[in-house]
Structure 1
């Protein structure tokens, strides 16, 4: 599914070049559950943005489903982001004035799906996340764990094959974090490829494989 060969992302600060990602080479296969571990500032979020086609590399080659990213048209990349990938972020990124149901419907609306089908699929995704009683609540009326469940429902409502989760337990207490990780294991068991970005070794141990990133350089965890 994902192949990177000597991928780099470089930022210029004054006269200095800073490698956010430094000649990274990695492969993630269909159906894997992979954690990418690194401290703050290590380049892991930049790497996730490149994997998720939210950003482009400055050097190297990124192949998604065997096709080089530079060979995708902008419309094709938009389709990849809308149909193939589900994103889950640390800060939930929910629209504050919208209900849980309306937040989950949004990706389907962007796909041009009928209002009736949007509603049915969003309701089913929220029920799957255990939020059948919270559909009409706004984010401010939900706990952190409930907000993250809404965010996961929004990520899975389009039936993506790949889920990218950037520090999904970072703003949650330990017990809620464990519950969210269990949800990712359920999604993985149902066939989703999961890429989990984290700074926490304990969380990373829940994945099948672990990659480490430090100063933009990626290595396979010896414990894998």
Structure 2
């Protein structure tokens, strides 16, 4: 499903070139649960941005579900992001004035779904993460763990081919973080492909496969 071949990405920072990805190679099969681990500045955020079609490589190739991302237009990239990738972020990225139900349904609004369908699919996604009773609550009325569950439901609602989670337990206490990881395990058991970006070794170890990145290079790919 995911294939990186000699992917390079360089940024100009303070007049100096920084190679965020240096001939990165990796292959992730459909249905895998993979963690990508590395310290701050290792290149994992750049890897995630390219994997999530938020950025494109300077050189090399990235194939997602058999399509070369580098050759796609911005409109096509936007379509892939909204339909094929479910994003889960460390900071939840919920809209404060919207209820949980409205936050979950937002991707479907952008896709032009009718209101009745949006409410139905949002309700199904919230039920999946055991938050039906909180559907009318706004983010400020929810705990951190509940907010992350809403974020996961929002990722679920479009039925993506890939869940891309960036430090999903980073703002949570250990008990709540463990509950969120249990939810990712459930999603994986249901056949979903999950890529989890983290700097936490204990979180990374829960994946079925771990990829280590350092100084822009994929240094280890182990079972």
| Structure 2 residue 92 is matched with structure 1 residue 85 | no
Output the CA distance in 2 between the equivalents of 1:146 and 1:49: 25
Match runs of 1:121-200 below 5 Å: 121-200=121-200
What SS does structure 2 have at the residue aligned with 1:39? coil
Question: In the aligned structure 2, how far is the partner of 1:82 from the partner of 1:192?
Answer: 17
Instruction: State the secondary structure of the residue aligned to 1:12.
Output: strand
8 A Cα contact 2:57 2:70, kept in partner: no
Give 3-state SS (helix, strand or coil) of 2:212's partner.
Answer: strand
* TM-score of the two chains, using structure 2 as the length reference: 0.97
CA distance in 1, matches of 2:168, 2:58: 27
**Stretches of structure 1 lacking an aligned partner (at least 5 in a row):** none
Q: Is the 8 A contact 1:161 1:191 kept in 2?
A: no
Q: Which residue number in structure 2 is paired with residue 214 of structure 1? A: 214
Q: Which runs of 5+ in 2 are unaligned?
A: none
TM-score (norm 1): 0.96
Q: Distance in 2 between matches of 1:39 and 1:117?
A: 42
Matched-pair contact (CA < 8 Å) for 1:33–1:193: yes
Provide the aligned C-alpha RMSD in A: 1.1
Q: Distance in 1 between matches of 2:100 and 2:15?
A: 46
> Tell me, what secondary structure is at the counterpart of 2:132?
coil
